[in-house]
Structure 1
Amino acid sequence: MDPALLPSGRQSDRRTPVVVVAGFTGPAAAGAARLAAALRETPGTVTIRHDLSGLGEGIVHRTVRIGEQETSTVLELAHGCVSCTLRIDLLPLLCVLAARDSVNRIVLELDPAFDAEAVCQAIENIAVTGVVGRIDGPAAREVRVEAVLTCLDARTWLADATGEDTLVERGSVTADDDRTVARVTVGQVDVADAVVALGNTGDTIDQARLAAVLSRLVPDAPVAWVDDIDLLRAAEVEALLARIPAHARRGRIFDAHAPLLRGQPPLGTEYGVALVEFAASRPFHPARLHEALDVLFDGVVTARGRIWLATQPNEVVWLESAGGGLQVGGAGPWLAAMSPSELAQADPMRRAMAALRWDDQFGDRDISLVILVHDADPAEIRQALHWALVEDDELRLVEGAPERVAQWEDPFGDWHADPCETSEPTGLPFDGQAKSPRGEAK
């Protein structure tokens, strides 16, 4: 990209820009490969791809291309996992390439098993060690995420994003990966700064519905509708990247207390697609919420937000769903439950926003959810969630007899955060409990 097109702050950033290109299997993955090849036509651009299809046997094939030159390497990992590939090879390689004067940009063409958000998080936070001539520290000291570019198959994306299939059932990963197709496909778009929608749905209403979903999921991301990816020229890909607004996400990781409505999405309803906001100043009854969560599966693309459980008064609980799968987990304490020293270390913006709605009894505890529907009744969703709130007599127990409330049935009380070097990066802001469709604990 021409530096003159960059905002002034990034013109002065001397770190090597990284463009992350993602696409699920099939046409979307082939489209991602074509996008990476188009970007490589710009002099000084290196592309990297890790083929994780042999990960179960501890084998990863890495391909690095610059211009017409290609280098292929077979990596043998003692423990074959996505995390190991990131830590052991990808992050150090970024640092090595960034140090070369001949490299002006790095393009990561992600294998579908990679989580784009987790890759961005790793670049920012995971310390890279053992690189000769370099002080140990995150790769973000040498590189910056310039953009995340996601290619999706317009004909199948909405079905994938709202389905229940797992990656294992699709044959995309090894048996120890329990992610769903919906989680990956929704996540790839949610983190995108620009989107290429590949192929024609064949139905103007279906295409309009998909456009309505994208405009609410990533309202600031420019979308290029492309019938044939092979006809997409390098100049058009570069132009798409140039359309990304200066305030775009660019790999930034949002925690559980970031605004749930990102950008300026349309708040009306189009072709059955709408954003449903649900807020409450009293907690959920955990057993009723567990029963009510079925309403977040059918006809829902994604839901996310902070919830207050009556049985866990000190813990912010984060909920996030994609299609027929859902995760819940702890996201740290409420401000009202923090010690004075912890409160002093809390994010100033979070404290300022909490002060606007502070309650004398419950502090900053509340419920805030945003649900993106494409074929569901918003009134039914609100009714089910309202039913799950504690009633007036239960609220009095929350206020005056927390020891009795602690004895209520709590299906959400089993999550934990066990240290495990082999666990995969989730891209989610908590250590959570995965739930299968229809709310059965996994």
Structure 2
Amino acid sequence: MLLPAGKVQADVGLIDRTADLLARSTDGPGLVVELPLGMPAMEAIGLFAESDGAMRLSDMVCVVDAAHLLADLDSPDLVPLPGGEDHARRADLVVQQIEYASQVVLAGASSLAEDRLLVLEALVGALSPQAAIRRSSGEGGDAAVVEALRHRRPTRYRQEQTRAGWVGLLNGEVAPTDGSAPVEVLHYEQLRPFHPGRLHAVLETFFARGSAGSIVRSAGFCRLASRPHVLARWDQSGRSLVLEPLAVDGSADADEVLSFGQDLAIVSVGMDARRLVSALDEAVLDDQELKAGPAAWSQYADPFPHWNVAPDR
């Protein structure tokens, strides 16, 4: 049975009700749900992954418009979420749907040159290493979905997801590239904290303006010297980058320090990795700044938004 995106957009609860109805029959049909772009992939995974009921998520197919994928990943457009009150960036949604897919279908592949398709496949593979990547000659998504369902490989989805390429890279399960491929995968590690002002300049030059190639995705963990006891989550898709507090050293819910310094996964098309790494290294504290200690660091001009955090003692 198929639930089209229009009906799901109008009534998200329809998924649960239909699943409950089908689950009453032991030999009933499966359910194919077409997710609206505004519905985060993790919401669908949360509904059915490790479910106690008869219906379980076994496959997540992401159909992308091959000709416009790079533009979508760089798009600043906002997409309305179900209910119409909140919005999300198109690039964030596209990245998330690719990262958590078990299959990614490149629709309209026949209209593109082979070298362009190889770049797109390498990019999708970097974002979602566990996904099967297929080419579809049709422009529309319906034929691509039918083709994907014919080749489906049931996948065990769990609530705690590690399918995203950046997670595999930080965990050592995915190897970085050697710099010769058009799609560069970089694991940046640095024990020293960032100087907030110099990091902001690097973000403006290399991430916003693309001086080292188009950085499509970066994610991981970082620390700012001006906020030395806070571990931050780094989350960037296209033109949008968010730094938000993840844990405070010494808080009641953290038995140990989760991470020192910087631990970042970076995926880019045409990236000059040496220039980027050099710029990031120059953005961390030098020897004299490091010796000055946290009291001096707190005086640094900090252009990033304020975090309302305090350790729980």
- TM-score when scaled to structure 1? 0.59
- The code of the aligned residue for 1:306 comes to F
Show the 5 A alignment for 1:135-284.
140-142=51-53, 143-167=55-79, 176-200=85-109, 201-228=111-138, 234=146, 236-242=147-153, 252-254=160-162, 259-261=168-170, 263-264=173-174, 267-269=177-179, 272-284=182-194
Show the 5 A alignment for 1:279-358.
279-294=189-204, 295-297=206-208, 298=210, 299-334=214-249, 337-338=250-251, 342-343=254-255
Q: Residue 161 of structure 1 contacts residue 323 of structure 1 at CA under 8 Å; is this kept in 2?
A: yes
Q: Residue 301 of structure 1 contacts residue 322 of structure 1 at CA under 8 Å; is this kept in 2?
A: yes
The corresponding residue for 1:412 is: 304
The Cα of 1:122 is off from its aligned counterpart by: 5.1
Residue 48 (1) aligns with residue 3 (2): yes
The Cα of 1:48 is off from its aligned counterpart by: 2.5
Of residues 109, 115, 128, the one that matches 2:40 is 115
Q: Residue 272 of structure 1 contacts residue 374 of structure 1 at CA under 8 Å; is this kept in 2?
A: yes
How many angstroms apart in 2 are the aligned matches of 1:165 and 1:104? 37
Structure 1 residue matching 2:57: 3-state secondary structure: strand
Q: Residue 212 of structure 1 contacts residue 270 of structure 1 at CA under 8 Å; is this kept in 2?
A: no
Structure 1 residue matching 2:266: 3-state secondary structure: strand
Q: Residue 308 of structure 1 contacts residue 316 of structure 1 at CA under 8 Å; is this kept in 2?
A: yes
Q: Residue 273 of structure 1 contacts residue 373 of structure 1 at CA under 8 Å; is this kept in 2?
A: yes
The Cα of 1:374 is off from its aligned counterpart by: 0.3
How many angstroms apart in 1 are the aligned matches of 2:48 and 2:145? 29
| Structure 1, unpaired ranges of 5+ | 1-45, 52-60, 64-73, 76-84, 125-138, 355-363, 418-442
Q: Residue 303 of structure 1 contacts residue 370 of structure 1 at CA under 8 Å; is this kept in 2?
A: yes
Q: Residue 147 of structure 1 contacts residue 251 of structure 1 at CA under 8 Å; is this kept in 2?
A: no
How many angstroms apart in 1 are the aligned matches of 2:158 and 2:93? 18
Q: Residue 176 of structure 2 contacts residue 187 of structure 2 at CA under 8 Å; is this kept in 1?
A: no
The Cα of 1:387 is off from its aligned counterpart by: 1.7
The corresponding residue for 2:265 is: 370
CA RMSD of superposed structures (Å): 3.4
Q: Residue 58 of structure 2 contacts residue 157 of structure 2 at CA under 8 Å; is this kept in 1?
A: no
Cα-to-partner distance string for 1:208-231 (whole Å, 9 max, x where unaligned)? 111111221112211111102666
The Cα of 1:367 is off from its aligned counterpart by: 0.9
How many angstroms apart in 2 are the aligned matches of 1:371 and 1:249? 25
Q: Residue 170 of structure 2 contacts residue 263 of structure 2 at CA under 8 Å; is this kept in 1?
A: no
Q: Residue 307 of structure 1 contacts residue 317 of structure 1 at CA under 8 Å; is this kept in 2?
A: yes
Structure 2 residue matching 1:283: 3-state secondary structure: coil
Cα-to-partner distance string for 1:137-193 (whole Å, 9 max, x where unaligned)? xx822243212111111111112112333337xxx9897544222112122111111
Identity of aligned residues (%): 22
How many angstroms apart in 1 are the aligned matches of 2:143 and 2:105? 13
Residue 394 (1) aligns with residue 300 (2): no
- CA distance 1:155–1:99, shift in 2 (3 Å): same
The Cα of 1:370 is off from its aligned counterpart by: 1.1
Q: Residue 285 of structure 1 contacts residue 390 of structure 1 at CA under 8 Å; is this kept in 2?
A: yes
- CA distance 1:177–1:379, shift in 2 (3 Å): farther
The corresponding residue for 1:16 is: none
- The code of the aligned residue for 1:324 comes to R
- The code of the aligned residue for 1:183 comes to D
How many angstroms apart in 2 are the aligned matches of 1:118 and 1:406? 39
- CA distance 1:92–1:175, shift in 2 (3 Å): closer
- CA distance 1:62–1:117, shift in 2 (3 Å): closer
The corresponding residue for 2:23 is: 98
- The code of the aligned residue for 2:58 comes to E
Structure 2 residue matching 1:147: 3-state secondary structure: coil
The Cα of 1:264 is off from its aligned counterpart by: 3.5
Q: Residue 208 of structure 1 contacts residue 271 of structure 1 at CA under 8 Å; is this kept in 2?
A: no
Structure 2 residue matching 1:144: 3-state secondary structure: coil
Residue 379 (1) aligns with residue 274 (2): yes
- TM-score when scaled to structure 2? 0.80
Q: Residue 306 of structure 1 contacts residue 368 of structure 1 at CA under 8 Å; is this kept in 2?
A: yes
| Structure 2, unpaired ranges of 5+ | none
How many angstroms apart in 1 are the aligned matches of 2:145 and 2:95? 26
Q: Residue 179 of structure 2 contacts residue 273 of structure 2 at CA under 8 Å; is this kept in 1?
A: no
- CA distance 1:313–1:99, shift in 2 (3 Å): farther
- The code of the aligned residue for 2:2 comes to T
The Cα of 1:385 is off from its aligned counterpart by: 1.2
- CA distance 1:266–1:153, shift in 2 (3 Å): farther
How many angstroms apart in 2 are the aligned matches of 1:296 and 1:95? 46
Aligned residues: 298
Structure 2 residue matching 1:216: 3-state secondary structure: helix
The Cα of 1:100 is off from its aligned counterpart by: 4.0
